[in-house]
Amino acid sequence: MHIEVVCKLEALRRVRSGRKIYDGIVSISNPPSSLREQAQRVRDVKQLQRATNQFLGLEFYDTEDRNRDGAPQQSHLEQVRAFFRGFDPSAPTTILVHCEAGVSRSPAMAAVGLTVSGYSHADAILFVKQICHQTIRPNRLICQLNLEAAEARENENENDNKS
């Protein structure tokens, strides 16, 4: 599986060039704060959807405060995991993950997706750091949520094995 992590402008540039068609695109944006932003988001999504058969659009803020409205939630991570599960890990697959700047949310969510392929969270973060062409700082709240989910799955597996 090949993953590309970029900012929104780079994602749109790649899609507009028509040279690359992606197997999947994860698009992360802030919730729109105006009708104008909402209309622009709709235009961007339409362009991105033309370049892929599988599209996942998520809206949440780049915050590390769990209590802020619009913060990343475990449900967002579950959507990303489900999205990545939809691809055969042995097949040549290219997935584009983007957010506004390509520095915080998209690298963290790419790591979440890689955990579906068997990577530990730490190894997934290291892999994403290696493939990015820029300095990244994965969103710590998303990382924490991913670690909590992994711990819960591990506890669940232990309980199943005891039964």
Over the stretch 5-44, which tens digit does the pLDDT of each residue have? 999 999 999 999 887 789 999 999 999 999 999 999 999 9
The answer, yes or no, to whether residue 134 has pLDDT greater than 80, is no
**Which pLDDT belongs to residue 163?**
63
Q: Please give the pLDDT value at position 132.
A: 87
Mean pLDDT for the chain?
92
Domains of the chain (ranges; CATH) run 2-162 (3.90.190.10)
pLDDT tens sequence across 46-74: 999 999 989 999 999 999 999 999 999 99
Long-range Cβ contacts of 75-81 (<8 Å, 24+ apart): 76/109, 76/142, 77/109, 77/112, 77/142, 77/145, 77/146, 77/149, 78/149, 80/26, 80/56, 80/109, 80/112, 80/113, 81/112, 81/113, 81/115, 81/116
Q: Model's pTM, two decimal places?
A: 0.92
